[in-house]
Amino acid sequence: MAIDDTKTFAEVLDKRRILICVGSGGVGKTTTSAVVGLQAALSGKRVLVLTIDPARRLANSLGIDEIGNERQKIPLERFQEIGLEPKGELWAMMLDMKESFDRLVQRDAPDEETRDAILNNRFYHYFSTSLAGTQEYAASERLYDLHEEGHFDLIVLDTPPTTHALDFLEAPERLADAVGSRALQWLYKPGVLSGRPGRGLMAVGTNYVMRTLGKFTGGELLRELSVFLRTFSALFDGFEQRARAVQKLLASDDVGFLVVTAPDTLTVEEALFFHDQLGSEALNVDGFVVNRVHPRWVDENTLDRGERELAAKLEALAQRMDHFPESLDFDAMAASMVENALQFQLRADQDAGSVVHMSQELPSETPIVQVPYFNQDIHSLGGLDTARRELFG
């Protein structure tokens, strides 16, 4: 939807090397990331859209079968099929967190023996796949590497849904903390290592860990744990250093955040909360995308006057058909269609109200761009291009 801030929004692409799409679940982060990537690629940049979404939504909409751990270039023919001629390149990559974590170990382990000891350890396996925050951490590390490598003009990062916009940013530090001490301390507690059911929360943890790690005897578990703690501690320094570097990058002017939201009241409140969280860390919020906005089709006057006219049109249409039931009540049909349109109108009004509310709450220089509710999911490059025209005018 063309609005005054469209230009500012396009300028963001020139300003940043990394754009991170954040927002609540299902609002359109993956779609927006792809749309932003597409726009940048068309305008001449070499762009990577980095996703963590294991669903194949991004691959589908980019017209490729699958996105793997390795970056993949969207073939030129895909664009040409829909009449687009990108001046740049669009690449996509799916971030596999287990693989990303393994890479960290491979990189930071002091020697091959330590590396193998970690990678083959079942605690490590649990740690690298199940501990809260590992996903965000692996993503931020990978982002850092890709940025340092300098192959892409722009990296667009699609994040998993979070309730806290800074999960991603804080992940390195939290993880370093977790590895360092607190979170692992409970493993030493009696009952955990023997697998005997205990009480309360600890028992839940115990049983979960025992199930995750499979059947161990207490001795095996102890041995495995001590190997994990000993070998993994060799990586602590690397973790901390990297955590600091990643944080510094995310807070730099190379990086901007796009907050994606749906227009309903609750989701908008969450988006405004994200904005405050990002702002409190002095991060760059480059704009808001209000996705799935119900557009206004007709004005109320037309609807009021239209009922009789519509009934007449329906009747004329029916008479042109070969067979139609005599008993059709065209007035009733027209009335329910108008009622339906009025309900839709109401949604459109509510959505417009949300956007006004956002513009009152946000600093005037923060662009808010709207994308309408399309009548079908966006699952092709053509669909992304339609959304792109709305976003960038």
Query: Considering beta carbons, is residue 140 or 291 the nearer one to ligand ATP?
Result: 291
**Residue 142 engages ligand ATP in binding (rule: CB under 6 A):** no
**Residue 133 engages ligand ATP in binding (rule: CB under 6 A):** no
**Among 53, 136, 167, 170, interactor with Mg ion by CB under 5 A:** 53
Single out the segment in contact with ligand ATP by CB under 6 A; choices: 116-124, 126-134, 344-352, 377-385. 377-385
Closest CA to 155 of 290, 258, 62, 24: 258
Name the strands in the sheet holding 368-372, side by side, starting at the edge strand that comes first in the sequence: 72-73, 89-94, 46-51, 154-158, 18-22, 255-261, 285-293, 368-372
**Residue 26 engages ligand ATP in binding (rule: CB under 6 A):** yes
Q: Are the CB atoms for 13 and 46 separated by under 8 Å?
A: no
31 contact, one of Mg ion, ligand ATP, none, CB 5-8 Å limit per kind: ligand ATP
**Residue 385 engages Mg ion in binding (rule: CB under 5 A):** no
**Residue 60 engages Mg ion in binding (rule: CB under 5 A):** no
Alpha helices in 65-199 (DSSP H): 76-81, 97-108, 112-119, 122-130, 134-149, 167-180, 182-185
Evaluate the CA torsion angle 201, 179, 274, 140 in order and state its sign. Answer: negative
Q: How far is the CB of 164 from Mg ion (least distance, A)?
A: 17
**Residue 231 engages Mg ion in binding (rule: CB under 5 A):** no
Single out the segment in contact with Mg ion by CB under 5 A; choices: 36-44, 45-53, 110-118, 192-200. 45-53
Q: What's the burial of 37, exposed, middle or buried (CB within 10 Å: 0-12/13-18/19+)? A: buried
Query: Considering beta carbons, is residue 53 or 286 the nearer one to Mg ion?
Result: 53
Closest CA to 73 of 107, 40, 46, 109: 46
Q: How far is the CB of 5 from ligand ATP (least distance, A)?
A: 18
Query: Considering beta carbons, is residue 100 or 121 the nearer one to ligand ATP?
Result: 100
Q: How far is the CB of 31 from ligand ATP (least distance, A)?
A: 3
Q: What's the burial of 173, exposed, middle or buried (CB within 10 Å: 0-12/13-18/19+)? A: middle
Q: What is the C-alpha to C-alpha distance for residues 4 and 257, in angstroms, rounded to an integer?
A: 20
Binding site for ligand ATP (CB under 6 A): 25-31, 53, 57, 161, 291-292, 371, 373-374, 377-379
Binding site for Mg ion (CB under 5 A): 29-30, 53
